[in-house]
Structure 1
Amino acid sequence: MNPYSIVFDVGGTAIKAAVTTKDGQVIESTVETYPAYSNQSRAFLLDYFYQLIQKQASKITDKQHTFAGIGFAYPAPCDYEHGISYIQGQSKFDALYGVSIMDAVRERLEEDAQLRPRMEPNYRIIFDNDARLFGVGQWFTGPAKQVDKSLCITIGTGTGAVFIDHGVAIKNKEIYDHAYRESIIDDYISKRGILKIAEEAGVPTRWDVRDIADAAREQKDKASIAVFHQFGTMLGEVLERYVDEFQPELIILGGQIAKAGDLFLPSTRDYLKERAPQFHIAENGSHSTFAGISAIIQGFSE
């Protein structure tokens, strides 16, 4: 039988989990959201992570099914090759600083008389950042597979990016810290970037991005519409150099801010004019991340 993968998307407040098939499809009955307990001790967290692996594995009741591996989308900074967390001073997972979560998981797995026999002989444990995994997932199960070159951008609390060239997600090619205007891209193409524009436009400061989007769509509020127009233009300015250098046929947007793409993408296209590639907004970012983990476990896109 085709082996499954046990996959996690780790955040500071919650950990999303699922089991995926060999072709990257999420088994919906296995999707769970667990509390992260990210301020707990090192011993607690390492045991807790492994308990979540056991819980997810137990959702596949047919013991004939094996697992190809276990994968984590984990926040930066992290040594992803060795699964070592270097998060510090962010009020999450501080206790795991300098700890190889990968080694801790493997040690527990090798001693697990119930789960170890269900793992493939050459099983893998992988760690990677969520933006790269999102992009790989869009190639593995999404529209990026239909083109030679695509650029996947996640927009939320910051800016994530992955460049996919003929099925390979190029490593160490982030854009968040590249210079833009008076600072870096991350300060503008993000939630805080939109809220800064909104503040300057006189939008009520108590409003979040969703409130501004609702006002633009439902109330046709001119100030709110102008916020997304300016944000879309800024996104076009940021994308211009990467469109010229990398020449992607498709740009895929994910993350919470992408849900407002109908409000800002027209301005992005207007800025890029005839150089604008096709754009696609991913509907389920978590499922794409899960698919990306499954792909990497199986050795795709490396």
Structure 2
Amino acid sequence: MKPKVVIALDVGGTFIKSGLVVDGELLQASCKQYPALADQDADVIIEQFISIFEDQYQFYTVTLGIAADCTWCIGLAFPGPFDYQQGICYIQGLSKYEALYGENIREVLYTRFKTIQHKERAKHLLQADIRFENDAKLFALGVSRLFPNERYISLTIGTGLGSAFIDHASLLNEGPGVPKDGWLYDKPFLESSIDDALSRRGILRLAEQMGALEKGMDVKELAEHARNGNSMSCKVFEEFGTRLAEMLKSYVVEYQPTRIVIGGQISKSIDLFGPALQTGLADSSIVIFTSENVSEFTLIGISRLFDNSLGLR
């Protein structure tokens, strides 16, 4: 049986992280990071994608085997808004990938491969199945490698809040306790939305309101102050953990997860907000799992897009 080789891209606004997943196993030596050209025109962005695909193709053929003996797949974790099934980008007003607005990325990539199919790598990649999915959902799917039989809610907290609801290593987009498409970001919370209140800007606004924010300070510096014993900074993270628990309570009651998974940049401060989060969810006896290896799990999650049992496209 031919090995299934997935060229996986975690497409971010600052960096693109890529790796090869061969028959479900991430090849650590193939993992690379590229500066994103998210503010460039469409041709430049697409050309970079093609270059990364070719780079990974070359890595495989040089170090692991013959390209013709593989089933090639290409998967991209992409921020939204995005029509993941059709492969159409709808990002606008976010200062990243706006040049791709309205483009069918899958068709654009195939068209580009056709123009260079005189090259062996392009000829093989032209036959690849190309799929897309939300980056937060793919992180959650990747984590299911650790907890294949569990039911959990996954959150990626950074510039915004991404979410996914997982049951026995499958994504749920509907059902008891599951918001439409598993997305929490746009749900009302406090005086705004979950995305606005429980994210980087939510923490910084909270710090400002509590008098803990100094000029030029970001979440990293705020956390350093808290770890150095600054009581006001500590209270900011405690309040953030309390608010996060308050938001999750109704979903925990209805969905009945065994675990909450937290990734993203804000997860690096779990030591500061985690105790209040755990206290707020004490009635459910739920386990909190955090990971800073979001991209690694995301790349593994991308490979699962090609798992027929998952029913994703």
Common fold by TM > 0.5: yes
Contact 2:113 2:125 (8 Å CA) reproduced: no
Provide the C-alpha distance between the structure 2 equivalents of 1:76 and 1:51, rounded to a whole number of angstroms.
23
Structure 1 position 17 matched with structure 2 position 18: yes
Provide the C-alpha distance between the structure 2 equivalents of 1:161 and 1:194, rounded to a whole number of angstroms.
18
Task: Tell me the secondary structure at the aligned position of residue 310 of structure 2.
Answer: coil
Provide the C-alpha distance between the structure 2 equivalents of 1:86 and 1:119, rounded to a whole number of angstroms.
25
Relative distance call for 1:214 and 1:67 in structure 2 (3 A) is farther
User: Unpaired segments of 5 or more residues in structure 2?
Assistant: 174-180
- CA deviations on 1:164-202 (whole Å, 9 max, x unpaired) are 123320231201111111111111110111111111222
Contact 1:198 1:227 (8 Å CA) reproduced: yes
Contact 2:5 2:20 (8 Å CA) reproduced: yes
Provide the C-alpha distance between the structure 2 equivalents of 1:202 and 1:227, rounded to a whole number of angstroms.
9
Question: What is the CA-CA distance between 1:118 and the residue it aligns to?
Answer: 4.5
Which residues of 2 match residues 137-156 of structure 1 at below 5 A? 137-139=142-144, 141-143=145-147, 145-147=148-150, 149-156=151-158
**After TM superposition, where is structure 1 displaced by more than 3 Å over at least 4 residues in a row?**
108-111, 116-121
Structure 1 position 208 matched with structure 2 position 208: no
What percent identity do the matched residue pairs reach?
35
Residue 160 (structure 1) aligned to one of 152, 159, 162: 162
Question: What is the CA-CA distance between 1:22 and the residue it aligns to?
Answer: 1.4
Contact 2:113 2:126 (8 Å CA) reproduced: no
User: Unpaired segments of 5 or more residues in structure 1?
Assistant: none
Provide the C-alpha distance between the structure 2 equivalents of 1:150 and 1:274, rounded to a whole number of angstroms.
16
1:114 aligned partner: 120
2:81 aligned partner: 77
- CA deviations on 1:95-123 (whole Å, 9 max, x unpaired) are 211111111212333563412565696x4
Which residues of 2 match residues 82-231 of structure 1 at below 5 A? 82-110=86-114, 112=117, 113-115=119-121, 118=124, 123-139=128-144, 141-143=145-147, 145-147=148-150, 149-171=151-173, 172-203=181-212, 204-217=214-227, 219-231=228-240
**Alignment size in residue pairs:** 296
Query: Could you say what the CA RMSD is over the residues aligned between the two structures, in angstroms?
Result: 1.9
Structure of greater relative contact order (alpha carbons < 8 Å, 6+ residues apart): 1
Residue 252 (structure 2) aligned to one of 243, 251, 264: 243
- Stretch of structure 1 that moved more, 101-110 or 258-267: 101-110
2:26 aligned partner: 26
Contact 1:69 1:120 (8 Å CA) reproduced: no
- CA deviations on 1:28-49 (whole Å, 9 max, x unpaired) are 2211111222222222322222
Task: Tell me the secondary structure at the aligned position of residue 40 of structure 1.
Answer: coil
Structure 1 position 63 matched with structure 2 position 63: no
2:289 aligned partner: 280
Task: Tell me the secondary structure at the aligned position of residue 17 of structure 2.
Answer: strand
Contact 1:155 1:258 (8 Å CA) reproduced: yes
Residue 291 (structure 1) aligned to one of 251, 276, 300: 300
Contact 1:70 1:297 (8 Å CA) reproduced: no
Provide the C-alpha distance between the structure 2 equivalents of 1:300 and 1:28, rounded to a whole number of angstroms.
25
Task: Tell me the secondary structure at the aligned position of residue 177 of structure 1.
Answer: coil
TM-score w.r.t. length of structure 2: 0.89
- Stretch of structure 1 that moved more, 193-202 or 111-120: 111-120
Task: Tell me the secondary structure at the aligned position of residue 288 of structure 1.
Answer: helix
Relative distance call for 1:80 and 1:276 in structure 2 (3 A) is same
Question: What is the CA-CA distance between 1:13 and the residue it aligns to?
Answer: 2.4
Matched to 1:15, the amino acid is I
Provide the C-alpha distance between the structure 1 equivalents of 2:33 and 2:165, rounded to a whole number of angstroms.
29
Contact 2:264 2:292 (8 Å CA) reproduced: no
Question: What is the CA-CA distance between 1:207 and the residue it aligns to?
Answer: 1.6
Task: Tell me the secondary structure at the aligned position of residue 12 of structure 1.
Answer: coil
TM-score w.r.t. length of structure 1: 0.92
